[in-house]
Amino acid sequence: MSRQLSLFDTSALAGAVANAITRVPEDIRVLIGCEMSGTVRKAFEALGFDAWSCDLKPDVERSNRHMQCDIREVLDDDWDFLAVMHPSCLRLTNSGVRWLKVPPKNLNPENYSAEDCKRYKRFTDDQKLAFMWQSLDEGAELFSDCWNADIPCKAVENPIMHKYAKERIRNYRDPAQIVQPWWFGDPAFKATGLYLENLPPLEPENKLTPPEKGTDEWKKWSVIHYASPGLNRSEIRSKTFPGLAKSMAKQWGAYLVNGMRAAA
């Protein structure tokens, strides 16, 4: 498990959060994993952190502060803070547990390569079921490697997991909190589980009042849940909203700054 920090002056957190961060030590190294949009990375950059992102895909804006690789290749590069925003959760979540009993007829091309989709079609039912469990093992391994990385402060985003996923996560703990974009000023529904180590839960900022269920406004807020099938649906569903990203940078950034000052 990672090393622990006991130097944070948590009593000063409220005051640090209440006032926007204007200066931070330049040597606080922040890694935002599994992010190609740069949304969270840029929120930390705006507050002066040495922030980098990493994903298997290129950054949408071709930023030179983005590393295109498997995040596990850079976890040991002496980071102070790790936020993994969209690790592969396809087989880990409650919504996908049914495929571990009766596998789908075909793979969704938005989640798998064309070669995997083609190969899967030729599988027997038993082979398809084995493939689903293999995908579960791979997703759990990625989550475990990030969760157990030797980095002082960590936040890993993931929906609520089913029991088979929990059994495979090394040193598994339930998420510290479930947040919604509308808690942070973004008019949308998207329950996001945050697994935290050496970080405080986020406090709502600019909290909105959700519209009445069934109304046109409620449907607009629910667009992520009703995204049409297609090659970009997974990207739409994995979106981090700007209000949440800013609160992460502001609140967790204040916590990091306070801790590093105490350690100095």
Interval 164-216: pLDDT, tens: 999 999 999 999 999 999 999 999 998 889 999 999 999 999 999 999 999 99
Strand partners, 67: 54
Higher per-residue confidence, 159 vs 51: 51
pLDDT at 230: 53
Q: Mind listing the pLDDT tens digit for each residue in 93-123?
A: 877 889 999 999 998 887 788 999 999 999 9
pLDDT at 9: 43
Strand partners, 52: 31
Q: Which CATH topology does 10-92+145-263 take?
A: Rossmann fold (3.40.50)
0.85 surpassed by pTM: no
Q: Mind listing the pLDDT tens digit for each residue in 19-70?
A: 444 445 678 999 999 999 999 999 999 999 999 999 999 999 999 999 999 9
pLDDT at 238: 60
pLDDT at 7: 36
**Cα separation of the two ends of the chain:** 24
Choose among 33, 32, 35, 93: nearest CA to 239: 35
How many whole angstroms separate alpha carbon 261 and alpha carbon 255?
A: 10
As a whole number of angstroms, the longest Cα–Cα distance in the chain is 61
Higher per-residue confidence, 53 vs 233: 53
CB 82 within 8 A of CB 94: no
**Residue 11 pLDDT exceeds 60:** no
Higher per-residue confidence, 224 vs 215: 215
Structure tokens at 247: 């609160």
Query: What are residue 34's phi and psi, to 5 degrees?
Result: 55, 40
